[in-house]
Structure 1
């Protein structure tokens, strides 16, 4: 039964379905384990009518990991139509804390991969999918603290709205409030962070295909789209992720060629900031903001501006890894100290308990923010033989995340009493 918005939320014993979970299955795929046998086993159970709801959700994820996103989402939606609550057991025989993650029916990258953050802890994870036409249950499962893990994408808007309506009546502390997740939208974040001392974030502007076409033909100027826009600029299709359709456009001719290769009608554009260092290399950083404090996740070094950790080929360069190790080791009194005021003010304005920042340093030494979101993967899957400095750093982040949940849970106990 769907929860009436104005009524107090109650809690009851959880009717959950167990699942293997995101982190375990993703780790297996990352390590090259062939997931086809497990997929076939689960398909056979479904065909025999003996599959449980958690197995169906695991099958959805496996199917996506094997490259069939559409089929995986179809399986997920079918499972969620009759069951919405799932448990990922903790590493401890007796959990010390139970966290309720509020998720949306979206692809595997659309919710915070909280499983990774809880690895090795005594925290039991319950995931409640807030599904269109179903909403929140009248009775919530018993939990100590809740966190919204749905992203700011269009597909999550209805789920976020349902959670936001119920938020004032939530019986336990609710982290990453849904009204603040919208702050992470590409075309909102730059307005939110405008004027932060020591922070540079180019305005991300929505532009239609017609506008960009006119610009490419010289019928309008960059300033007619936005005051600070100029060539060279960065363009990407609206709603794209993981660098799909991302391009640097140096002039009108490059823009015309870009549009000729794309079918989309809406784009995001922004001024290009050349953040190359004196040695000719670009350095891009991923930070986790946990309870207001920054933590180093990784540092990618490459001779190209459009860096992702994979295309920086860090695993193949001992010199790059040595620099990343120093970045992590000295982070608190080096990078975090240099940008402490900017990071603190950014955290305050964003207003989320946990989020991820992809950033660099511009040529004036300011913190250059590319994007922030709550769903980027923070994991401990990299080989300790190749990256011996990473496991301690990841465990530090995981411990901070668990400590944050515990702190809020204790505060909730006090207020309930």
Structure 2
């Protein structure tokens, strides 16, 4: 055990350091006794209280630990001890799953990091982790202010710059986010951080900086141009997926290639039947790595955004690369090019029993914000939806209720080119918005799931808030089961006929359709594309109906095997 530090005030060994040394040496009783003796003299010492709380956690006495941390947090100084205690308390409470309780603790004032203290290695790890927890609990501004206050001491810390950049991105400050993320990338070189590069890519896309997006994609593709799944006995064929570099949830090389949309889901659900491989086909590095791939029997094109493909000018490269294998291609690049958001809206116009929200593409070039706002207002009433050309899953999409919000979005959030779409208020009598998803596989159409929300942008069932919503509204799950089993009965006669009419006009092979049905029986078309998630990823007790998934998986097998004959 190292020599005890001497307190400058008393000339005696520092009791906190003595206790820490005893605890590290496994002498818990002596360490605890030292801390309690200190508290006899200084009952509110926050560091001693925090250390005792950690001892109680080790003993699985979390209630006692929380009480000790609450006592410690009554003293906001010194700030670094306060922050450490808050971090430890939130870690324990979140590990218990008590999110509401954690939010209560996170609502306390969060001090800035003091200028006079240089964070030690433990504190350097704690700061971004605490900021991440605070942001997750709704304290994004407090988290960003905390990291900003510490960054002066840690100017060369790439991890801290990355954490700050993520927070700036979450709060919509794209300029500050870009600067922080670039600084993180520079400080982490030559190491390649997949999560950092994907955050840089997301920021660049939000900013409309296509040159930066292409450079980041090229860097990721060079690091891992192809991925080949392990071979298994009984696999019937090799299937090559043309993937694009993804920019979320990367924790492995496989995750870099296979995302959460249906091609990635198939690579899991049908792994025993087909050997799935991936190549970043838009990237020169991916096409150059062709020799690393076993010969495929089929290609599934997952570069499925018409607008993104047009922006990159990659259609011909993809067409030529696909042709070089001499095998069938699902969702061929030429078909993708014909299925853009505005093209689909135009080709579906006039279909009976179908309401297609008006959609128009706008370009900022040569226009002031006021001029562009006037052009939009000439075609659309408020509220309206503005969104980027490329992003999916609700990213880059904003509801705008008045001219002030529109001018702000034009100045800060929307890239050079963007879509504006008519907002259709489809709330039901229960007050919920609803989004229904159908899967199209060749001529097969199956309703896969329905989601509800009190918010206009209806998401799935991944976040804790959405999980809690469905556990509190289980009647919706029963309604979903009936809806998927017999759509015409639950939604009204003619719904499936309308979906088949949509299918006939959309030039894709496998894709998803998002829609709802109004009280008057009309189907509201939200979108159709080949990059949707079709199979459930929700917790077992709130998953969408298994019978719907099994029908669509059977249709997928049949369609794939038909192409392999």
TM-score, normalised relative to structure 1: 0.70
In structure 2, what is the equivalent of residue 117 of structure 1? 266
In structure 1, what is the equivalent of residue 199 of structure 2? 69
1:142 and 2:282 aligned:
no
Counting strand residues as a fraction of each chain, which structure ranks higher? 1
In structure 2, what is the equivalent of residue 213 of structure 1? 370
Q: Of 384, 391, 398, which aligns to 1:233?
A: 384
In structure 1, what is the equivalent of residue 500 of structure 2? 344
1:81 and 2:222 aligned:
yes
Could you say which structure has the larger radius of gyration?
A: 2
Q: Is the 8 A contact 2:388 2:418 kept in 1?
A: yes
> In 1, distance between residues paired with 2:304 and 2:396?
21
In structure 2, what is the equivalent of residue 356 of structure 1? 512
Q: Of 398, 407, 413, which aligns to 1:262?
A: 413
In structure 2, what is the equivalent of residue 278 of structure 1? 429
Helix, strand or coil: the match of 1:276? Answer: coil
Q: Is the 8 A contact 2:515 2:524 kept in 1?
A: yes
Q: How many residues align?
A: 344
Which stretch has the larger CA shift, 335-344 or 75-84?
Answer: 75-84
State how 1:178-197 maps to structure 2 within 5 Å: 178-197=333-352
> In 1, distance between residues paired with 2:197 and 2:286?
29
Helix, strand or coil: the match of 1:304? Answer: coil
CA pair 249-353 structure 1, distance change in 2 beyond 3 A: same
In structure 2, what is the equivalent of residue 35 of structure 1? none
Helix, strand or coil: the match of 2:500? Answer: helix
Q: Is the 8 A contact 1:99 1:125 kept in 2?
A: yes
Q: Is the 8 A contact 1:80 1:131 kept in 2?
A: no
> In 1, distance between residues paired with 2:558 and 2:369?
48
Question: CA shift at 1:404, angstroms?
Answer: 0.9
> In 2, distance between residues paired with 1:211 and 1:296?
44
> In 2, distance between residues paired with 1:211 and 1:294?
45
In structure 1, what is the equivalent of residue 470 of structure 2? 314
Q: Is the 8 A contact 1:205 1:270 kept in 2?
A: yes
CA pair 239-63 structure 1, distance change in 2 beyond 3 A: same
Q: Is the 8 A contact 1:205 1:269 kept in 2?
A: yes
Helix, strand or coil: the match of 2:515? Answer: strand
Gaps of 5+ in 2: 1-96, 98-190, 203-212, 250-256
Question: CA shift at 1:341, angstroms?
Answer: 2.8
Q: Is the 8 A contact 1:192 1:349 kept in 2?
A: yes
Counting helix residues as a fraction of each chain, which structure ranks higher? 2
In structure 1, what is the equivalent of residue 11 of structure 2? none
Alpha-carbon deviations, 1:331-366, whole Å to 9, x = none?
376559632232222222222111112211234322
Cα RMSD (Å) of the superposition?
3.7
- Select the structure with the greater relative contact order (CA < 8 A; seq sep ≥ 6): 1
> In 2, distance between residues paired with 1:94 and 1:141?
17
CA pair 113-243 structure 1, distance change in 2 beyond 3 A: same
> In 2, distance between residues paired with 1:383 and 1:175?
30
In structure 2, what is the equivalent of residue 14 of structure 1? none
Q: Is the 8 A contact 1:287 1:358 kept in 2?
A: yes
> In 1, distance between residues paired with 2:267 and 2:548?
14
Question: CA shift at 1:167, angstroms?
Answer: 5.1
CA pair 399-332 structure 1, distance change in 2 beyond 3 A: farther
> In 2, distance between residues paired with 1:133 and 1:337?
50
Alpha-carbon deviations, 1:180-238, whole Å to 9, x = none?
1123322222112222222222222122443762365xx55733xx4xx3333222244
In structure 2, what is the equivalent of residue 406 of structure 1? 561
Helix, strand or coil: the match of 1:385? Answer: helix
CA pair 126-245 structure 1, distance change in 2 beyond 3 A: closer
Question: CA shift at 1:371, angstroms?
Answer: 1.6
Alpha-carbon deviations, 1:91-132, whole Å to 9, x = none?
x52212221212234435997542312434311112232143
CA pair 254-100 structure 1, distance change in 2 beyond 3 A: closer
Q: Of 87, 99, 114, which aligns to 2:239?
A: 99
> In 2, distance between residues paired with 1:163 and 1:256?
38
> In 1, distance between residues paired with 2:460 and 2:194?
24
Question: CA shift at 1:86, angstroms?
Answer: 2.3
> In 2, distance between residues paired with 1:399 and 1:175?
17
Helix, strand or coil: the match of 1:398? Answer: helix
Question: CA shift at 1:407, angstroms?
Answer: 1.0
State how 1:378-393 maps to structure 2 within 5 Å: 378-387=534-543, 390-393=545-548
TM-score, normalised relative to structure 2: 0.53
Q: Is the 8 A contact 1:231 1:251 kept in 2?
A: yes
Question: CA shift at 1:269, angstroms?
Answer: 1.0
In structure 2, what is the equivalent of residue 395 of structure 1? 550
> In 2, distance between residues paired with 1:126 and 1:68?
21
Alpha-carbon deviations, 1:120-147, whole Å to 9, x = none?
4311112232143357468774222222
Which stretch has the larger CA shift, 102-111 or 70-79?
Answer: 70-79
Helix, strand or coil: the match of 2:279? Answer: strand
> In 1, distance between residues paired with 2:394 and 2:317?
30
Helix, strand or coil: the match of 1:119? Answer: helix
In structure 1, what is the equivalent of residue 527 of structure 2? 371
CA pair 269-409 structure 1, distance change in 2 beyond 3 A: same
